[in-house]
Amino acid sequence: MGFLLQSWYRGCESHRACPRCKLTGHMARNCPNQVPARTHASVIIAQKENLIEAEWNAILAGIRKICQQAREEIKRQKEVERKTEDESEEGKVRDHPEEEMWEKYLSPIKPAPSNNQRGEISLGNRFYALAEIDEKGEIFEGNKIGIMNKPNRNQFDDIYP
């Protein structure tokens, strides 16, 4: 790491910033602003951890929004069907409108393998998240399994077989 920092900083007069963590450091001897290699490494690691946490929070917010929309749509659909049933003499209504609405609004959530409740969630073209999901698409918070950029299908085997 020290060798890389020396290649990034060409002495005090250049005032170059570290390309990874954007901190200015100086490798010249006796410089009061010298930043040791260990500091840069810890800053880079901390920034990566913060980025992953922020991305995970954004994904959770997206999942919550999808679930909330589905709940509202189910509630609205039940109201409409109840009114239709009251007005209709035959009372022809679907038996389980909830299942159809969950299929429509939670289509990004692919079915989990039969031996467990883990499912794969696709949010746009950027991220996939793996999380434990119940039968209505609710995510069990706190059970983070993995987050990654959109991978090939085989790459999920590394996260959980």
Looking at per-residue pLDDT, the higher value among 81 and 20 belongs to: 81
Q: What pLDDT band is residue 98 in, cutting at 50, 70 and 90?
A: low
Distance CA 42, CA 39 (A): 5
Looking at per-residue pLDDT, the higher value among 77 and 128 belongs to: 77
DSSP per-residue string spanning 37-88:
HHHHHHHHHHHHHHHHHHHHHHHHHHHHHHHHHHHHHHHHHHHHHHHHHHH-
**What is the mean pLDDT of the segment spanning 20-30?**
45
pTM for this predicted structure: 0.27
Distance CA 119, CA 107 (A): 12
